[in-house]
Structure 1
Amino acid sequence: MSGPEKFVLLGKVVGVHGIRGELKLESYTEPRTQIFRYQPWRLRSASGETTIAGSRGRAQGKGIVATLPGVDDRDAAAALIGSEIWVARSALPKSAPGEYYWTDLEGLEVVTLEGRALGAVSHLIATGANDVLVVKDAERERLIPFIVGQFVTQVDLEGGRVTVDWDPEF
């Protein structure tokens, strides 16, 4: 698939740490310090976007603390609170067979085993048991458990399609 570069949300700036410009981050990576492996970061906030390369950090308590180039005092750090941390999809490692990044599934066409179109993957929802595809078409929204082999029979990233064993009326 070609087109504009996709970006993936990996975390968020949630506070400041100390007086030297360190930031408290919430990381969506596992383990949480893995966020520093994927750079550069694109920080997005209501005031705009900034690209930052060379961020470093460490685990501290239940969160992580980061140092960003050019952010040298508490005021500069405080201005970044609420910023989301995005990275280019191409900066992430290739997924293992049978595993998928949510961003790669979003936008894919969803069809039944019989070839009936159900819509496209709008987004996914994490539940305790399994992830759920949110599939939308012009008329409705369907929630389909993302359980490969049971409800999801095939994911064709190149072809842009997910085949599901799902009753279109449900």
Structure 2
Amino acid sequence: MTQNPKETVIGRITSVFGVKGWLKVFSFTDPIEGILDYTDWVLDLDGKRIPVKLEEGRRQGRAIVVRLKGINDRELARTYCGAEVRVPTTELPVLPEGEFYWLQLQGLDVFTVDGECFGRVDHLIETGSNDVLVVHATTGSIDQRERLIPYLPDKVVREVDLAGRKMIVDWDPEF
């Protein structure tokens, strides 16, 4: 299923947990327990949208385990494995000025401070030290290279214009 701009993926159900219908979830939120702040989920499983309600959840080691309303046995829970967990973007907390969700940066056109077009942000990668923009070339790009640009506000990323759908970076076109 294609990404709905009014929803964002916050996790993925990976496996069953125990025999009472609990599920293990890989959380994309930071901190990972943040996924538990959302109670109305839409599961995207093989193109089917399944609205579910989070009953309870907790951290279990390095993972999150949850119980969804109406799922009380292991075999029923197993049918949800592999589903993406989505929530409406309107449910996301408002960020402080100058901070952005990855989903807001995806699709922005990327230009150098000199006005040369690198392409469009396809996605981001978390590296540990800083996030990295993966920029794919477009028809107006200076070349057809894919670029990996560190997401370092004020150092590399000079401006993010969400309304204008563009980003200005201080990055050498040869790199």
- Residue 29 of structure 2 aligns to a residue whose secondary structure is coil
Map of 2:163 onto structure 1: 158
CA contact 1:121–1:133 (8 Å) conserved in 2: yes
CA contact 1:45–1:82 (8 Å) conserved in 2: yes
Aligned residues: 167
Map of 2:71 onto structure 1: 71
Structure 1 residues 117 and 39: CA distance shift in structure 2, 3 A: farther
Q: TM-score, normalised by structure 2?
A: 0.86
Map of 1:57 onto structure 2: 57
CA contact 1:41–1:51 (8 Å) conserved in 2: yes
Give the deviation of 1:7 after TM superposition: 2.3
Q: TM-score, normalised by structure 1?
A: 0.88
Gaps of 5+ in 2: 139-143
Map of 2:141 onto structure 1: none
Which is worse superposed, 45-54 or 157-166? Answer: 45-54
How far, CA to CA, are the matches of 1:10 and 1:25 in structure 2?
10
Equivalent positions of 1:60-139 (< 5 A) are 60-138=60-138, 139=144
How far, CA to CA, are the matches of 1:136 and 1:61 in structure 2?
37
Map of 1:25 onto structure 2: 25
Query: Quick one: percent identity of the two aligned structures?
Result: 43
CA contact 1:111–1:162 (8 Å) conserved in 2: yes
Which is worse superposed, 21-30 or 78-87? Answer: 21-30
Instruction: Give the aligned CA root-mean-square deviation in angstroms.
Output: 1.8
- Residue 77 of structure 1 aligns to a residue whose secondary structure is helix
CA contact 1:39–1:91 (8 Å) conserved in 2: no
Q: What are the Cα deviations for residues 80-109 of structure 1, in whole angstroms up to 9, with x where unaligned?
A: 112121112211101222221110000011
Gaps of 5+ in 1: none
CA contact 1:7–1:87 (8 Å) conserved in 2: yes
CA contact 1:36–1:55 (8 Å) conserved in 2: no
- Residue 103 of structure 1 aligns to a residue whose secondary structure is helix
How far, CA to CA, are the matches of 2:18 and 2:24 in structure 1?
10
Letter in 1 for 2:163: E
- Residue 120 of structure 1 aligns to a residue whose secondary structure is strand
Superposed structure 1 runs of 4+ greater than 4 Å apart = none
